[in-house]
Each structure stands twice: as C-alpha cells, then as structure tokens.
Amino acid sequence: MRLWALKQEVLGLYRRILRFSKTWEALSGHLVDTVEEQKYIKNEAAKLFRKNKKIEDLELVEQHIKEGEARMQLALHYKNPYPRPVNIPQNALPPRGKKLKKAQKRILDQAKPLYLKSYDDIT
C-alpha cells in the first residue's frame, strides 16, 4: 500500500513540475530566455525521473520527492531554475595528484545539499 501511495506522489510531483515549466518566466523577461529555461526544466525533470524510476527503497524515493520539491522552491525563490552551486569544505579535497580518502569522501557526501542528491553519477 505504501509503495502505491509513493508512486502516486511521484507522478503528482512530475505533473506539477511539467505545469511549473509551462508557467515559468525568465527573470530577464526575454522570450528566448523563458523558452530556454522552460525547456531546461522539462528536460531536467524527464532525465532525473527516468534515471530514478527503478528505485524501490521507500526512504530513497521519499528523499527524491523532497529533492524535487526543494528544487522547485529554490527556482521560485531565486527566479533561477538551474541548480545552485555547492560550497565544498576546504579540508574535503585532497592535494593535487592524491586520491580521495574515506574521510574526505564522507565530508563531500555530507556537504552535498538535498537538491543535488540525484547527481551522484552524472558528470
């Protein structure tokens, strides 16, 4: 029962994002920018929903739902649909030419904000 409810919530979120993209207006007010940003929102949503469609872990699905809602709220607040940059702690990066240690990887994972969790393997 819980899985079915989550699937309905995911589909509802996808519909909201698509509606959100149709009403989006670029901060610059130029039609070209508006169309480009609307296209970005639709393409980004489709790409991430396709990438995460096979996830069956309920907690992970809930995290992705929160991520989608957070990205929509950030886009509305900042009037910018693109992901915000991440501030990485200085001690999290290894010196040039060195490998990433476990502790540094953990710090990087903890520093990643909720709205970028789906970008783990996207370069």
Tell me, rounded to whole angstroms, the distance of Cα 61 from its chain centroid.
13
Residue 39's CB is within 10 A of a number of other CB atoms, namely 12
108 against 81, higher pLDDT: 81
Answer yes or no: is 40 within a domain: yes
Are the CB atoms for 20 and 72 separated by under 8 Å? yes
Answer yes or no: is 10 within a domain: yes
Q: Is the pLDDT of residue 75 over 50?
A: yes
Answer yes or no: is 117 within a domain: no
Q: Residue 49: phi, psi to the nearest 5? A: -65, -40
Answer yes or no: is 110 within a domain: no
Sequence-separated (6 or more) residues with CB below 8 Å from residue 71: 83, 115
Q: What pLDDT was estimated at residue 92?
A: 67
How many folded domains does the chain comprise? 1
DSSP 56-68: --HHHHHHHHHHH
Residue-wise pLDDT for 97-106, tens only, equals 777 778 777 7
Answer yes or no: is 93 within a domain: no
Range of the domain at 29: 2-86
